[in-house]
Amino acid sequence: MHAAIASAAAGILGNTGKTAIGPWEWELRGTLIVIMAVGVLCGSLYLILGTNLGARLGFLVALTGLAGWMFIMGAVWWTYGKGLLGPDPSWQPVAGKTVIRDPGSLSEVGVLDLSFTPTDDPVADATAVRGLLADSSWKQLNSALPSYAQAGAAGGVFLEESGAYAAGEFAVVGVYEKGGERGPKFWDDRIDFLAFFHKPHYALVEIAPLVPQRTEPGRAPARAVIDTSRPHEYVFMIRDMGSKRVPAAIICISSLVIFLTLCWMLHTRDRRVLVNRSAKALPAKA
């Protein structure tokens, strides 16, 4: 039915050849489709109820059914993460200390628990920092994990946006994470469906500068080589858990409140009608 309504609306408005703006197609065509869909689907049910129950009671019953259906739909969306979704989880920069160009500043920004003083050997410094990260409860991720690629890509974007490097001038050589535990959990962490609370989840991306390569027309680019004469740099990020299910939760809870309110109104009306019908009829005046 929705496809038929969309086809009819497109036929009325004509094919302008313009690309729709966004997934909602927020133009005259999209507005007309919504109006026609509500009028046909909801209006047809109200028409049937109105002819049997009356205009006011039919509208109240139809609105109650719509609120109940919206509650069920919102509950399904909320459970499975479908339908109207909010922002997905993503890595965000830590304000004021995202790009750490000096390894000696890692302890000052709270990455390392112990202070570190760089030497003249960048390779030895990078190895020493890895050991200090392990001592500070940082966990190194395997490069085969999807989380490694996601954090590395986000760190590369922040590094390029800061202007420190351009694309192709650095390589991600390590990704570390810390925190992010969920709670509360029960029965040796077997029951975790109530774990709605999270500790801050941090990620540290280790960047190594590359040796500048000459590019010649018609030849494949040279293999990237890490510049061992320059110190490694780091990108400090925090995980934003997003609000993917928040819109569905709002629809579910608000629809439930409206549904219960309308049910209470219907119940109150039925009791009032019952009292009126059970009352004794007044004698007619002569």
Per-residue pLDDT reduced to its tens digit, 226-252: 999 999 999 999 999 999 999 999 999
What's the whole-number average pLDDT of the chain?
A: 86
In sequence order, what are the beta bridge partners of 176?
Answer: 140, 204
Extents of the domains making up the chain? 2-85+246-274, 90-214+222-240
Q: State both tokens at 58.
A: 């039919």
pLDDT tens-digit readout, 107-126: 889 899 988 999 999 999 99
Tens-place pLDDT, residues 182-203: 888 888 777 877 777 888 999 9
**Distance (Å, whole) CA 201 – CA 205:** 13
| DSSP-derived 3-state class of residue 166 | coil
- Could you tell me the two tokens for 90? 């993503």
The closest alpha carbon to 174, from 235, 117, 122, belongs to 235
Q: Specify the pLDDT at position 5.
A: 42
State pTM to two decimals.
0.72
For residue 128, give the nearest of 141, 140, 143, 117 by alpha carbon. Answer: 117
pLDDT, tens digit, 9 for 90 and up, residues 91-107:
999 988 899 999 999 98
What are the DSSP calls for 246-278, one per residue? Answer: HHHHHHHHHHHHHHHHHHHHHHHHHHHHHHHHH
Distance, CA of 114 to CA of 80 (rounded, Å): 44
Does residue 19 have a pLDDT over 90? Answer: no
The band of 61, judged by pLDDT with boundaries at 50, 70 and 90, is very high
pLDDT band with cut points at 50, 70 and 90 for residue 14: very low
